[in-house]
A and B are shown apart, each in its own frame.
Chain A
Amino acid sequence: MIKKAYIDDKAFEIQGEETILQFLKRHKGKYFIPTLCDAPHLKPFGSCRLCTVEVIFPNRRGKHRTVAACHTPIEDNMVIFPHTQMLEKLRKNIVELILTDHPYHCETCASEGNCVLQKIVEKYQYQTVRYPNGANHLDASSDHSHPYLRSNLALCINCSCCVRACDEVQGQFVYSLYGRGFESKIIKGHDQSFKDSDCVACGACVSVCPTQAISDIFEPKAKKANRKVRTICAYCGVGCNLTVHLLDNEILKIDAPWDAQVNLGHTCSKGRYAFGYYNHPDRLRNPLIRKNGELVQSTWDEAYDFIASKLKEIKNAHGSDAIAGISSARGTNEENYLMQKFMRAVIGTNNIDGCARVCHAPTAFGMQQILGTGAATNSIDDIQKTECILIVGANPTFAHPVTGAKLKQAAIKGTNLIVIDPYKTELAEIANIHLQLRPGTNVAVLNMMLYYIITEGRVDEVFIRTRTEGYEEFKAAILKIDIDYLEKVSGVSQELVKKAAILYSTANGAMSFHGLGVTEHFQGSFAVMLVAQLALLTGNYGKPGVGVNPLRGQNNVQGCADMGVQPHQGAGYFDVTDPDNIKKYEAHYGVPMPSTMGLKIPKMLDAAGSGALKALWVIGEDLVQTDPNHDKVKRDLEHLELLVVQDLFLNETAKLATVVLPASSAFEKSGTFTNGERRVQRVHQVIPPLAGTKPDGVIIVEMMRKLGYLQPDYDPITLLHEIAKIVPFFAGITWETLGEEGEQWPVALDGTDTPILHTKTFTRGKGLFRYIEYQESDEIQKHQKQYPFILTTVRDLVHYNCGTMTRRTHNQALVSEDFLLINPDDAKAHNIKEGEGVKLISARGSIQIRAKISDGLKPGILRTTFHFPDIMVNELTSDILDEHSGCPEYKVTAVRVELLSSQKY
């Protein structure tokens, strides 16, 4: 039965459980009823009282009441009078009261034109405020302590929107309403400044503040946007939708569309604020060619001619396999598709790889082995539907902040949370169970969990029987594990693991998330396989609120592999050594295809060092700063005859290049990104390419043509047609039908997309059980005696990877160096005090870094970020790789600590 309610004398349909305000706004528009304390996605609050309406309650014998629309549920046959004379008078008088404690000079106010209160004041045409001057808060001080956020509480109307956004969206609880009655006021932390509070600069408060009492530096009164463009964030793999506000071609500010399914108007400090790199003076604006040892400015034609002749020369002398390319997971799908096509169809080699190699390659490989598809099985939105969240080796509130906030909200609201991590992350602190293992022992702890799920009789037998294979052998092997030994090596008690196993396996729907703490290990692929098997054992696939969900690092790292940026699989994940696939690709590209497997990034570097590889083309990746064993990487690259680096900035790798090509940023081009939940979303060009730069896709196309391949112009619309013909799960994707929200692959020809994978069968048929034995990394076995600490490298909230972009924004003022975190006992034993410089030494090299004392780590474990090239943490890391995917073991480095005298640092 359709429920309806009346607005004055006209009936309108009621949808689900909504409030009177939602009902009125849905039918009559956003501004039908004035409100000051109502904000998208925040719970009803009822403080401003402007939405008060007169109502007849049919179910309460026709009772006539005056109620606030925002917190009164609509009822069937209710009659609402939204604009009676009494109400208009009431609203006018309420606003007048607000104005008695508000600077009443809109025209001179800094937030003029950007203030909800101002709009309402204009509507009610106030002449004067009738009340005599009384007590007020007009002398409240303003806060300029933060690089981005500002507060001017003289403008505050105590609506609590900031408090609620911080609590309900981000979960940071920075704001409070302090005191009571007329004396009450908004405070941050313990009445601190933004800088000293726990603020994470997500800007959720700014996005809901009606008056700009809380604002940021991107609200200048002098400049008003004259256009807005919706696009996708170019930082992490969450794939937040952004609205870029522009004055002509100047980016004024960034916020997020409230209706975007991925982020519902939320963003993090990187997405919302760290865009200043786009026109930074450091942006490369000319190609550079190395002449007599110096990089000198050149024209595009010169650079193309130079590269083309060099590539031809190398190909003729040494063959196609002496050339390799590294594409960028920061680029679009179309660009990645072109780069692998360039290498395969134009150069003639499978030597093409991407940065997934150094992050989630073990996920792609491991999940393919167990399930058949190396991608997230479910959607982020499933966090709302799950009963138990398992996070392994990931710090989402820092590295994937918008998803992290959703996880935090779920945990706060009672969803069970298990965290497996060597560090007491923000989520570990609020988890039901935190398994604080020694870095490098994921396989040990996961085996213990699998063991207890079986011994406690919590397996899903029907699921195992109907949807999996290899269970009996697996079970026999796992029951034989030496649980005492695993407890000893991992440092996690059997009892606690058993509790976690029970919590995970008894949930009616458990969902796992994992990050680089799982993959960047000697046993990285194996650990991924075990995470996937935890879900197999408990039937957690193919429905809402379950599955295995890798938190992908780069904005388009999923798409990068989907498009064939891998040495063993081409576009659509077809094995490039299989003759049938080769024929398919040859027919598609119209040229002969290479048939031998290409080199993975670490092998490319080895081959460069040994002289087998002569030319390397790198797009948007700083190998020198981010690949392990920095000195070796540098030496290897120096052996190359041709190193082409295509980037926004002269990064550490570009400094070694033969040719540097200035690329355009994601704001300067169109295309598609695929986020961590397989959602292909449209990236819209916001501004034209910075003068002198070209989008990666344009550069590749021009180079392909230069080398004789007739590739049409870079255009996402036509490229998506080309991709849909070869990538089966893109079959139904077109630029037009992707729409604003994008689509989750596989997308069938009829346009149906897939929020949940493996609903009926797994991509490989049956899910595979396979026992995996824990093995200690060589790094520890060889070096433990001399280098007794284990260092693990991680990421900070405000910086992104090697920091080329975020270091060129005000985020640099928030965090300006890498720090070493050390346990208090270790610090004491080594006489290290907070903020002192220490020397870290590994078997490869040494660095100097400032120490911070942290009880989030167990003794013997150290932790640092790697965002700053002047510290160059990767001097320390090793060449040990995950044997299946070639992913380096960044998370386990044996080191020694020495105190530096203050003069030295």
Chain B
Amino acid sequence: IQIGGPLGGVVPINKISELTLDFECLAKEGFLLGHGSFVAIPTDFPMIDFLDHLFKFAKDESCGKCVPCRIGSQRGFELIHTAILDTKDKKIEPNLFSDLLHTLEKGSLCGLGAGLPLPVNNILEYFKDELKPYFRGLR
């Protein structure tokens, strides 16, 4: 379930029962209440495609003023997109990906670039096994 908007946190279904619907609880668990929307993602929907969607959303919405968001959202999208197309040779370098998320979070001018890493990190944390084929040595 993605809670709180287009860049809201992605909560695995088994965690839902542990949460209460308030700012504090969701924030404490590394999610976001945002505007309170729920988007249910079918269990058979590949989470790499959801990552692809998140970066596409960010790059399409980026105004282009600051470097991290303008270029970072584009490069993140390219990394994931090419990994989907070619899981053999175009695997994502986890260090580079983590540097990119850090740059977006700490460097972006507004909440769009700075907010993108939250759902991405949720997915990396809770859907690691599913993502392993796309990353080089994901631990």
**A residues lining the B interface (CB < 8 Å):** 46-49, 52, 66, 68, 86, 89-90, 93-94, 97-98, 100-101, 130-132, 134-135, 157-158, 160, 177, 179-184
Contact status A90-B71, CB under 8 Å: no
User: Contacts A49-B109, A86-B106; is A182 near B66 (CB within 8 Å)?
Assistant: no
* Alpha-carbon separation in the docked complex, A182 to B60 (Å): 8
The reply to whether A135 and B74 form a contact with Cβ atoms under 8 Å apart is yes
Instruction: Quote the shortest CB–CB distance from B84 to chain A (angstroms).
Output: 14
- Encode contact with A along B42-86: 1 for CB under 8 Å, 0 otherwise: 000000000000000001111111111011111100110010000
A-B contact pairs, 9 of them (CB 8 A): A66-B106, A93-B102, A93-B103, A93-B107, A98-B71, A130-B96, A131-B78, A177-B64, A184-B70
Contact residues of B with A, CB < 8 Å? 59-68, 70-75, 78-79, 82, 90, 93, 96, 99-100, 102-103, 106-109
Shortest distance in angstroms between B49's beta carbon and chain A's nearest beta carbon? 19
Q: Are B67 and A48 in contact (CB under 8 A)?
A: yes
Name the residue of chain B whose CB is nearest to the CB of A131: B75
Contact residues in A for B63 (Cβ distance below 8 Å): 180-181, 184
Given contacts A89-B99, A94-B67, A98-B67, contact A182 B106 (CB under 8 A): no
Find out whether the CB atom of A132 lies under 8 angstroms from the CB atom of B78: yes
**Contacts A49-B108, A181-B60 given: A89-B102 contact, CB under 8 Å?**
yes
Residues of A within 8 A of B99 (CB): 89, 93
A184 to B, closest residue via Cβ: B64
Contacts of A132 in B (CB 8 A): 78-79, 82, 90
Cβ of B109 and Cβ of A47 under 8 Å apart?
Answer: yes
Determine whether the beta carbon of B93 is less than 8 Å from that of A130: yes
Chain A residue numbers with a CB within 8 Å of B62 are 180-182
Closest to B90 in A: A132
| Top 7 closest pairs, chain A to chain B, by CB | A184-B64, A181-B62, A182-B74, A134-B78, A97-B71, A49-B107, A93-B103
A131 contacts B79, C-beta separation under 8 Å: yes
Sample of 16 more A-B contacts, CB < 8 Å, known A97-B75, A181-B62, A184-B63: A49-B109, A93-B100, A93-B102, A94-B68, A94-B103, A97-B72, A97-B100, A97-B103, A98-B71, A132-B78, A134-B78, A157-B67, A180-B64, A181-B70, A182-B59, A182-B71
B96 contacts which of A131, A157, A183 (Cβ < 8 Å)? A131
Chain A residue, CB-CB nearest to B71: A97
Q: How far is the CA of A90 from the CA of B103 in the complex (A)?
A: 6
Distance in angstroms from A21 CB to nearest chain B CB is: 15
CB distance from B98 to the nearest CB of A (A): 10
B64 lies within 8 A of A182 (CB):
yes
Give A645 to B89 CA distance when docked, in angstroms: 80
B90 contacts which chain A residues (CB < 8 A)? 132
- Please determine whether A49 and B67 come into contact, CB atoms closer than 8 angstroms: yes
Secondary structure dominating the interface of B: helix
Instruction: Report the separation of the CA atoms of residues A66 and B105 in the bound assembly, to the nearest whole angstrom.
Output: 10
Q: Is the CB of A52 within 8 A of B75?
A: no
A182–B73 touching, CB < 8 Å? yes
B residues near A86, Cβ cutoff 8 Å: 106
Tell me the minimal C-beta distance from A776 to chain B in angstroms.
59
Partner of B66, one of A47, A93, A134, A179: A47
Cβ–Cβ < 8 Å partners of A135 in chain B: 74, 78
Q: State the CA gap A86–B68 with chains docked (Å).
A: 15
Residues on the A chain within 8 Å of B61, using CB: 181
Q: Which residue of A lies closest to B96 (CB)?
A: A130
Contact in complex: B75, A134 (CB < 8 Å): yes
Q: Name A135's closest neighbour in chain B (CB-CB).
A: B74
Assembly CA distance A28 to B106 (angstroms): 24
The answer to whether A49 and B68 touch across the interface, beta carbons within 8 angstroms, is yes
Question: Which single residue of chain A is at the shortest CB-CB distance from B109?
Answer: A46
Nearest B residue to A178, CB-CB: B64
Report the Cα distance A97→B90, complex, angstroms. Answer: 19
Report chain B residues within 8 Å CB of A158. Answer: 64, 67, 70
> Residue of B at shortest CB range from A87?
B106
Chain B residue with the shortest CB-CB distance to A157: B67
Chain A residue nearest in CB terms to B63: A180
Chain B residues near A48: list those with CB within 8 A.
66-67
Q: How far is the CA of A93 from the CA of B99 in the complex (A)?
A: 7
Q: How far is the CA of A135 from the CA of B71 in the complex (A)?
A: 10
- In the complex, the chain A residue whose C-beta lies closest to that of B93 is A130
Who on chain A is nearest to B62 by CB? A181
Docked Cα-Cα span, A93 to B108, in Å, equals: 12
Complex alpha-carbon distance, A182 and B99, angstroms? 19
Asked if B109 and A68 make an inter-chain contact with CB atoms under 8 angstroms apart, the answer reads: yes
B28 CB → nearest A CB, Å = 18
Question: What is the distance, in angstroms, from A38's C-beta to the closest C-beta of chain B?
Answer: 13
Docked pose: A182 CA to B113 CA in angstroms: 13
In angstroms, how far is the closest chain A Cβ from the Cβ of B14? 33
Question: In the assembly, what is the distance between CA of A440 and CA of B25, in Å?
Answer: 79
Complex Cα gap A39–B21 (Å):
47
Evaluate contact between B93 and A49: CB separation under 8 angstroms: no
CA–CA, A48 and B59, complex, Å:
17
Residue on B nearest A97 in the bound complex, by CB: B71
Are A181 and B106 in contact (CB-based, < 8 A)? no
Closest to A182 in B: B74
Q: Which residues of B contact A184 (CB under 8 A)?
A: 63-64, 70
CA distance in complex: A46, B103 (Å): 15
Q: How far is the CB of A476 from chain B (nearest CB, A)?
A: 63
CB distance from A156 to the nearest CB of B (A): 12
Question: Residues of A contacting B65 with CB < 8 Å?
Answer: 46-47, 160
Closest to B75 in A: A131
Taking the nearest CB of chain B, how far is it from the CB of A612, in angstroms?
72
B22 CB to nearest A CB, Å:
22
State A182–B69 Cα separation when bound (angstroms): 9
CA distance A132 to B68 in the complex (A): 17
A797 and B62 alpha carbons, distance in the complex (Å)? 40
Establish whether residues B64 and A183, one from each chain, have CB atoms under 8 Å apart when the complex forms.
yes
Task: Give the residues in chain A near B70, CB-CB below 8 Å.
Answer: 158, 181-182, 184
